[in-house]
Structure 1
Amino acid sequence: MKLGVTLSTFAATETTNVVDRAVELGTEAERLGLDSMWFAQMASYDAIALASAVGRAVPRIFVGTAVVPIYPRHPQILASAAKTAQAATGGRFQLGIGLGAKNLLEPAYGLPYPPPITHLREYLGALRPLLDGKDTGYDGATVTSHPVAATAVAGAEQTIPVLVAAMGPQALRITGQFADGTIPFLAGPKALEQHIVPALTKAAASAGRPAPRIIITVPAVVTDKAAEVIASATEQLAFYEHIPSHQRVFDWDGVDRAGELMLAGDEDTVAAGLRRYLDAGATEITLTYTDVAGDADRARTWRLAGELASS
């Protein structure tokens, strides 16, 4: 079982330096045998910069973003940051991107939110050559990119995997055609098996691309306070219930509240829940919201993840 962890809420209550804490957690994850550590983009810290710092300090673990919204970043800016991270980590950086939520991002930035599917297709079309150090331009309805100087970065010659937080049919089709896989959040085993995996696999095959990576991000905690953890997660994850793409996936899974997808319980309960995602077609799993019940349960959850990763 290929397992990693995604840090999303870890900095909200920290009083120590956020980079120092991330490196500390990365060192712990590597020691426990976890394969990867991912960082969500927040309003506070920059996910790519944080992944770079951890990957530079921790010598073996893979790092990535889960995810960076492409709005309102220009592909040239995102590519430059990603290639710098690849050079900093010795080829262990993975770029996870997403469309983001219009109702959250458009008011925050004050810029018109582009038609999402067109923008995703054009963004990936402009981004991939830039990541490969090619200076070819791109002209689309929502993306125009014409580098004025060379875009190659010494030390970043290894291909940077691009994962898209795609769950809907159109986004999955584009992801299969242009990206290396998907990295969905809050998609249960039923949605994965019946909708996400078949659509993405078909799109990749039709485009003549390799079998896609399907990295499912699962909220999970090994705890003796399962009911309390689920109640807290239900409150914290309620925001996603108002995003149309997530509403569709919740319907596929037959759940009303996002918190119903929280895995909480003893080691056997959580391990069995994770195996259901593998049976549904996930190629990799990352655990998130592992600190929702405090650091002791987070550490207990990471220990189980390390054991499963090495088994």
Structure 2
Amino acid sequence: MTIGVTLSATSRQLPIDATVRLAREARDAGLRSAWFGQSFSYDSPLLAAIVGREVPGLEVGTSAIPVFGRHPLLISSQAQTAQAATGGRYHLGIALGARHLVEEGFGIPYERPVALLREFLTALRPLLETGQADFHGELLTATTPLPAAVPDARPTVPLLVAAMGPQALRVSGELADGILPFLAGPRALAAHIVPAVTAAAEAAGRPAPRIVALVPGVVTADPDAVRETAAGALALYEGIPSYRRAIQLSGATRAADVAVIGDEEHVAAEVRRYRDAGATEVVFTATDLGGEADRHRTWKLLGELAQA
């Protein structure tokens, strides 16, 4: 199983050098991938490209870019640039986004999200594979009127979707390479998410999808204090319907209840539960909840599990 971590760049001035140092630390600990969420303060494909170029051997990805306010032609250009910069180690994740962020941030109505996702993926996949598109949908148009460059030997950018709801899972299984579920525990993965996306992929004649489970978690000697911190840090997701549903399907009532917090033995056992539930990859998020010492312990354990 591939195991990775998310790296957050949250200061007002993007700390690129600090992020690169963290990425090197993650790689040296034995972790296989580093992922970057999209923010209003930095561009995640560009940051992934910089980190991937500076840290050889580490897979990098975005998790995930909302489709509202973006266009397949532009996302494809960003992704292919990152793929070229990293020598084929970039993974593109897209998402529906949250209604309040889309409508308040972009002033765009959050309407027909699954239909938009389907059209976005339909236009984006040929762009990533051939550099060309000729798509005329109901919600968007994506064409390449100028000749595209001949694709080189780089592998096609893997295309993942932060999908958890039934309709988004069906579209992702049909058109994407995998999914990026967040706050979906092993119970939700095994009983609802993995079967749905796998069945959709099989029906479309596509390979078994990647299941990249994003898991908030940390190794710590003080789980009660860290869990209290996690409750505040993750509470905002409880107001977003897709996350709330995933939390409930996981048998939890709060987002923090899905977080993996405890000693090395507990965290290792939970990683195995995700694997047994169908996750092909596990990416730990929020590993800084307990502070620097806990992050080091977490990355050390995850690196050992990745090597094993």
- TM-score bracket relative to the smaller structure: over 0.9
How far is 1:149 from its partner?
2.1
- Pick the aligned partner of 1:48 from 17, 36, 45: 45
Once the two structures are superposed, residues 278-302 of structure 1 have per-residue CA deviations (whole angstroms, 9 ceiling, x without a partner) of 1111111000000112122111100
Q: Work out whether residues 166 and 182 of structure 1, in 8 Å CA contact, stay in contact via their aligned partners in 2.
A: yes
Other-structure match for 1:2: 2
Once the two structures are superposed, residues 34-84 of structure 1 have per-residue CA deviations (whole angstroms, 9 ceiling, x without a partner) of 111100011211111110001001111110001111111111010000000
- Pick the aligned partner of 2:114 from 102, 113, 117: 117
TM-score (norm 1): 0.95
How far is 1:155 from its partner?
5.5
Cα gap change, 1:163 to 1:289, in 2 (>3 Å): same
Once the two structures are superposed, residues 98-120 of structure 1 have per-residue CA deviations (whole angstroms, 9 ceiling, x without a partner) of 11001122111112223111001
Other-structure match for 1:103: 100
Q: Give the residue type in structure 2 aligned to 1:2.
A: T
* SS in structure 1 at match of 2:146: coil
Q: Work out whether residues 247 and 258 of structure 2, in 8 Å CA contact, stay in contact via their aligned partners in 1.
A: no
Mapping of residues 8-157 of structure 1, within 5 Å? 10-13=8-11, 18-152=15-149, 157=154
Q: Give the residue type in structure 2 aligned to 1:291.
A: D
Other-structure match for 2:252: 255
* SS in structure 1 at match of 2:45: helix
Q: Work out whether residues 95 and 160 of structure 1, in 8 Å CA contact, stay in contact via their aligned partners in 2.
A: yes
Alpha-carbon separation, structure 1, partners of 2:231 and 2:124: 36
Mapping of residues 178-197 of structure 1, within 5 Å? 178-197=175-194
RMSD of aligned Cα (Å): 1.5
Other-structure match for 1:244: 241
Alpha-carbon separation, structure 1, partners of 2:37 and 2:237: 15
Once the two structures are superposed, residues 175-231 of structure 1 have per-residue CA deviations (whole angstroms, 9 ceiling, x without a partner) of 010000111110011100000010011111111101110010001100111111111
Alpha-carbon separation, structure 1, partners of 2:203 and 2:66: 27
* SS in structure 1 at match of 2:85: helix
How far is 1:150 from its partner?
3.3
- State whether structure 2 residue 301 is matched by structure 1 residue 299: no
- Pick the aligned partner of 2:261 from 260, 264, 267: 264
* SS in structure 2 at match of 1:63: strand
- State whether structure 2 residue 214 is matched by structure 1 residue 217: yes
Q: Give the residue type in structure 2 aligned to 1:78.
A: I
Once the two structures are superposed, residues 117-171 of structure 1 have per-residue CA deviations (whole angstroms, 9 ceiling, x without a partner) of 1001000000011112332311111111122323447657321100101111111
* Identity in percent: 52
Q: Give the residue type in structure 1 aligned to 2:77.
A: S
Alpha-carbon separation, structure 1, partners of 2:76 and 2:10: 28
Q: Give the residue type in structure 2 aligned to 1:11.
A: A
How far is 1:13 from its partner?
4.9
Greater CA drift, 247-256 or 42-51 = 247-256
Alpha-carbon separation, structure 2, partners of 1:221 and 1:153: 45
Alpha-carbon separation, structure 2, partners of 1:20 and 1:211: 37
Alpha-carbon separation, structure 2, partners of 1:151 and 1:229: 51
- Pick the aligned partner of 1:168 from 160, 165, 169: 165
Q: Give the residue type in structure 1 aligned to 2:83.
A: Q
Alpha-carbon separation, structure 2, partners of 1:156 and 1:109: 37
* SS in structure 2 at match of 1:186: coil
Other-structure match for 1:198: 195
Gaps of 5+ in 2: none
* SS in structure 2 at match of 1:87: helix
Q: Give the residue type in structure 2 aligned to 1:48.
A: P
Gaps of 5+ in 1: none
Q: Work out whether residues 167 and 184 of structure 1, in 8 Å CA contact, stay in contact via their aligned partners in 2.
A: yes
